[in-house]
Amino acid sequence: MQAAVYYNNNDIRVEEVPKPVVGDQELLVKVLASGICGSDVMEWYRIKKAPLVLGHEIAGEIVEVGRNVEAFKIGDRVFVSHHVPCNTCRYCLNEHHTLCDTLRTTNFDPGGFAEYIRIPAINVDRGVFKLPDNISFDDGTFIEPVGCVVRGLRKARFKAGSTALVIGSGISGLLNIQLLKAMGAANIIASDISQTRLEAAIRLGANSTIDARENLPERVRELNNGRLADLVIVCAAAPQAIKNSMECIDRGGVLLLFAVPEAGLDIPVHLFGLWRDGITLLNTYGAAPIDLMESIELISSGVIEPSRLITDRFPLSKSSEAFQRMIGGGATIKVIIEPHS
């Protein structure tokens, strides 16, 4: 079978690789759509493991079923989670599923940018979800990223009637905006340096936008009746974005780090200000099965509309071009690779 093998951001090769062999408790899934995540092009994070087949936002159809698998059958339309928790460790038992060692070491084989993937037994047990009829394969690739947003807003304890500032209006920022609107945010302010993405933010529910090169706290006050934001969500990895975010939170507010800069980079934190103003600093990482189930419901019910975010589709043979389109940004929001198109 064919797969897009990652060597670096500028070297994605479509190569012939062995088609996985399925064990008694495993599944073989034909990948029909696979989204390129922002983390897939985060070269400092990926390059140390290259060469490898990336892709974890997938949807497809089951084509082989291990003889001991009873919950699924050939032909089932599914979304598959690449990481799954053990559900028994101290992290899982305290609802920190995405910190679980098992979750951080599980995966499917070889990766979503391939024609077929093997689903190990543990993923079959707790990471395979049947797609409702009204969720297309392309829309199914959003289940994992929407699950990450669900988890983040749950951790932030977001309340209806609050004001939210979303810094970075790429795919994660826009998904946060859609869900914030659905959850009853009184005022959603989006920030980015791309006018195209700011226009998308308005279409998807933001009340107003700010060019990120402006004075953010000053503009937030102008757009929020003199107040700063109750919740600030950082969806841009630029260090300056994180620095700016800390100046935009109202007293008693929450700063949620959705995106982070390169490992090893330190950013000063004014602890006195956090302490004095009662500000909560949180991070969010990944999605657990409970988040993914909620994500499926949000997409199926139309609360989240993935089709409004897809800007580019490529066959597997043009994976290199797909990566370059994602890296280029601009008008690009979400890129989907369709291995069998």
pLDDT tens, residue by residue, 250-306: 999 999 999 977 888 888 888 898 899 999 999 999 999 999 999 999 999 999 999
Of all residues in the chain, what percent carry a pLDDT higher than 90?
91
Q: Which CATH superfamily is domain 2-147+287-338 in?
A: Medium-chain alcohol dehydrogenases, catalytic domain (3.90.180.10)
pLDDT for 165: 98
Cα dihedral angle (184, 309, 147, 59), rounded to 10 degrees? 150
pLDDT for 149: 98
Domain with CATH 3.90.180.10 in the chain: 2-147+287-338
pLDDT for 226: 98
Domain with CATH 3.40.50.720 in the chain: 157-283
Contacts of 244 (CB under 8 A, 6+ apart): 167, 212, 216, 217
pLDDT for 284: 95
pLDDT for 268: 85
Contacts of 234 (CB under 8 A, 6+ apart): 167, 168, 241, 242, 245, 255, 256, 257, 258, 259
pLDDT for 270: 85
pLDDT for 288: 96
Q: Are 332 and 325 in contact (CB under 8 A)?
A: yes
Q: Are 218 and 195 in contact (CB under 8 A)?
A: no
Fold (CATH) for 157-283: Rossmann fold (3.40.50)
Strand duo 249-257 + 280-283: pairing:
parallel
Angle made by CA atoms 233, 45, 214, in degrees to the nearest 5: 35
Q: 8, 79, 38: which is closest to 328 by C-alpha?
A: 38
Q: 66, 75, 71: which is closest to 32 by C-alpha?
A: 75
Residues of the chain under the 50 pLDDT cut: none
pTM, two decimal places:
0.95
